[in-house]
A and B are shown apart, each in its own frame.
Chain A
Amino acid sequence: EVQLVESGGGLVQPGGSLRLSCAASGFTFNTYWMNWVRQAPGKGLEWVANIKQDGSEKYYVDSVKGRFTVSRDNAKNSLYLQMNSLRAEDTAVYYCARGLKPGSSTYGVDYWGQGTLVTVSS
């Protein structure tokens, strides 16, 4: 059974940093692109970033470029999102999501974690 479990969310002041983690199990982690998707309270879904199986390619939504960094550790079956220079508008539930097809980034995502809440406020 595919499982994705996010952690690391919490309350942080504007301008601060936070590192999210996602522990994956139930599939061959090092064969899938992985994604982060967020959802502000009461709002819709927003794709944030993804990373290739070997970490050699990464893509970001414009609003987080230069502030967020996605990474992975295939030995630990883990995905990360380092978030710096956080703003109030980054407040959201952050979901870890698996790429739909192994080896490809273009098909969207299939499995999602339950999410971790990040609140940016003074």
Chain B
Amino acid sequence: QSALTQPPSVSGSPGQSVTISCTGTSSDLGSYNRVSWYQQPPGTAPKLMIYEVTKRPSGVPDRFSGSRSGNTASLTISGLQAEDEADYYCSSFTTSSTFVFGGGTRLTVL
């Protein structure tokens, strides 16, 4: 049950686009379309931003999009805004019927 691999940090200027990667294995991310992304500003609970790889819950701006290729999923945030600054985590269902999170990526808006 090793954690999914995410870059520790990414950054971008307002209006730019950034992409956060999430790499797993054939035991998790590579086997299921059950990849979710969560946003966590400092001191708050996580918020669901993407589920089933590409779907957005109601209320999440369409600037947030998800994709997957093989064992790697990605979250892209376009038109960066200051309010997007937060930690982002990916998550996947696993072949053991458990869940695994990525280590988290700190997004800094310059």
Q: Which residues of A contact B (CB under 8 A)?
A: 35, 37, 44-47, 50, 59-62, 95, 100, 105-115
Q: Does B34 contact A (CB under 8 A)?
A: yes
Q: Is the CB of A95 within 8 A of B32?
A: no
How many Å lie between the Cα of A111 and that of B34 in the bound state?
A: 16
- The total of chain B residues at the interface (CB under 8 A) is 27
Is B89 a contact partner of A45 (Cβ separation < 8 A)? Answer: yes
Enumerate chain B residues within 8 angstroms of A37, measured Cβ to Cβ: 101
CA A108 to CA B108, docked complex, whole Å: 26
Q: Which of B32, B34, B91 contacts A47 (CB 8 A)?
A: B91
Binding site for A on B (CB under 8 A): 1, 3, 32, 34, 36, 38, 40, 45-48, 51-52, 57, 87, 89, 91, 93, 96-104
**A59 proximity list for chain B (CB < 8 A):** 96-98
17 new A-B contacts at CB < 8 Å, known A44-B103, A106-B34, A111-B48: A37-B101, A44-B102, A45-B40, A45-B104, A47-B91, A95-B45, A100-B51, A105-B97, A107-B36, A107-B93, A108-B51, A108-B91, A110-B48, A110-B57, A112-B45, A112-B47, A115-B45
Q: Is the interface of A mostly helix, strand, loop or mixed?
A: strand
The distance from the CB of B71 to the nearest CB of chain A, in whole angstroms, is 17
Rounded to whole angstroms, the CA-CA distance of A8 and B82 in the bound complex is: 35
Neighbour of B34 across the interface among A44, A108, A112, A114, CB < 8 A = A108
Determine if B89 and A108 form an interchain contact, defined as CB atoms under 8 angstroms apart: no
Pick from B1, B46, B51, B96: contact of A45, CB below 8 A: B46
> B93, B98, B103: which has the most chain A beta carbons within 10 Å?
B98
Contact A62 B1 (CB under 8 A): yes
Q: A61-B1, A108-B34 are in contact. Are A47 and B45 (CB under 8 A)?
A: no
